[in-house]
Each structure stands twice: as C-alpha cells, then as structure tokens.
A = this chain, B = another copy of it.
Amino acid sequence: MARWEPDAAGRLQQAALELYAERGYEETTVAEIAGRAGLTERTYFRHFADKREVLFHGAERLQEAIAEAVWQAPADVPPLDAVAHGLRRITPFFDERRPDSRRRHAIIRSSPELQERELMKRGSLVTALTAVLARRGAAPATAALAAESGVSVFHLAYERWIEDAADRSYAAHVDETLASLRALAVSPAAVA
C-alpha cells in the first residue's frame, strides 16, 4: 500500500532539522521525525538508512554538481581556478538555503558522529575533484593537490558564509578565501 508521497525526503529533512534544533540530535527519534513530517517510519527508512543520513540529503547531488561545473570550466583554466569556477556555480544552491544551512551546521557541530560523517563527505569530494581535474589533463600530483586545496576553500568559505552577519553570497566568500590562499602561498619560504 505504498502511496506516492510528494517530496517525502525533503519533508523528512525539514522535520529532522526542526526537531534536532529544538530537542537535540541525540534526543530525537526517527519515529518523531516521521510523525512531524506526516509520514511513517517505513517511509523514512525507504529514504534514509539512519538518523544521520537525513542531514546529508542532497550532498551527493551537490558533489556531482560541483564536479560537473569543474569539468565544464574552459579548457585553459588552471586546476585551482577550475575548482573555484565549480564552487561559484553552486552559489544559488547555498544562498537559497542559508537559514536551513545555519541550523544544520549547528546540529553537526553538536555531535562527533555527525562531524565524522561530514569529514567523510569532504574526503569523497576530494576524490571526485581529483578525478575530474585529472580528466581535464592535470598531472596526478597536481590534480590531488588542487582538489585538496579546492576542498579547503569550499569548506572554509562555507563556514564564513554561515557566520556572515551581512549575508553576502557564497561566491563572495569563495573569492575571498581563494585570494587568502594565494596570499598565504606566495609568502616566501623563510625557513631552511
């Protein structure tokens, strides 16, 4: 008797964000999330394996979107700039969701288990970007380093965007973080 539930995953995620923020991540049950969304536990488990996964809904799609945009950067764009190009392209995705992202960020900070999952997602983004930069023709070592650095920019720009009292766009934070990285890296090697 499985009924079609319009955007069940999105509704479950919204309900989870609300409940985790109100009561705490540890204290909330899947039954409560499903109830708040007007759905059953069974429907929940059709979409998410556990309590953690609901917070990472869309993360794979986001990763694919970044990788695709990096792939589509003009061929003569160097690796790190290609990554920045990819990050700028996902700006609308982030900027539309800032209040939810802020709630989600606070919840993830509250739980080592969730931080672990977030680190795994970062690792998987590094792997995906290394592959796409290599496909664009970068040498393996360069691709790996540009992917690592690009994901650092992704992550730090995200944190600044979350905390930005002036609500400037994600793209602005990507540009600033990339500029900081360039400034940091050009400083002379003063130690023998």
Contact = CB atoms under 8 A, between A and B. Distances in A.
A58 interface: no
Contacts of A74: 190-191
Would you call the interface of chain A mostly helix, strand, loop, or mixed? helix
Contact of A148 (B115, B123, B155, B190): B155
A169 interface: no
Contacts of A149: 149, 152, 181, 184-185
**Contact count band on A:** 35 or more
A144 interface: yes
Interface of A: 73-74, 76-82, 84-85, 88, 115-116, 119-120, 122-123, 141-142, 144-146, 148-149, 152, 155-156, 159-160, 177-178, 180-182, 184-191
